[in-house]
Amino acid sequence: MEELLISWMREYGYVILFFWSILEGESGLVMAGLFTHTGDMNLATAIIVAGLGGFAGDQLYFYIGRFNKSYVHRKLRHQRRKLALAHLLLKKHGWPIIFMQRYLYGLRTVIPISIGLTGYSAKKFALINLCSALCWSSVIIIPVWYFGNEILGVIKWAKEHWYFALPFIATLIAVAYYYINALSDKTLKAKVRPL
């Protein structure tokens, strides 16, 4: 399976990278950085393709907000606080929030949608978004390309010593189990009210 994925990346790498970047793929950029390090991809081309993918994704979210306001309000009614926060951030900080939005966890898709809901200039958003997307792809791909030998060494070591991950996985499962039980108990208590 791993060999198949690598052969696909070598053959269709730029296409996969573009679509992966539309879907917010930092892991795709790391893969691209490794492929540029091994010589299977060109560094400049990978940065540009990933940047254009990130740009296209945010433009899509912006225009969803711009032309489907009632749909956005209906579908994202549980995200109202995030939409309001994104709107406040835009009012307070202006264009820098557009540039930084792809680094804000939990708000990356909400900010372009929220900006689309406002009367913000589509041309200005596109220009800032393009610069931001190219910087984003560069900031991730270039260090991975540069430190490729070290990263590949860690990956090789992790494959050979996979059993060291077992305690980590067991801890994650235990924490997830605890939170799922705590959440279900809280939901059950909220539904069952004393008479």
In sequence order, the 6+-apart residues with CB closer than 8 A to the CB of 152 are: 34, 37
Can you tell me the distance from the alpha carbon of 85 to that of 107, in angstroms, rounded to the nearest whole number? Answer: 9
Can you tell me the distance from the alpha carbon of 95 to that of 120, in angstroms, rounded to the nearest whole number? Answer: 10
Beta carbons of 91 and 120 less than 8 angstroms apart: no
Compute φ and ψ for 106, nearest 5 degrees.
85, -10
pLDDT for 42 equals 92
DSSP secondary structure letters along 33-70: HHHHHHTSS-HHHHHHHHHHHHHHHHHHHHHHHHH-HH
Can you tell me the distance from the alpha carbon of 55 to that of 53, in angstroms, rounded to the nearest whole number? Answer: 5
Whether the model clears a pTM of 0.85, i.e. scores above it, the answer is no
Q: Letter for the amino acid at 117?
A: L
pLDDT for 5 equals 64
Residue 124: band (very low, low, confident or very high) from pLDDT cuts 50, 70, 90: very high
pLDDT in tens, 136-193: 999 999 999 999 888 888 878 877 877 777 787 888 888 888 877 776 665 545 555 5
pLDDT for 87 equals 78
pLDDT for 68 equals 83
pLDDT for 191 equals 52
Q: Is the pLDDT of residue 61 over 60?
A: yes
List alpha helices for 25-165, DSSP H: 26-38, 43-67, 69-75, 80-93, 95-100, 110-117, 122-146, 148-160
pLDDT in tens, 97-123: 888 888 877 778 888 888 888 888 999
Domain positions in the chain: 2-160, 162-195
Average pLDDT, the chain: 82
Q: How distant is the alpha carbon of residue 49 from its chain centre?
A: 16
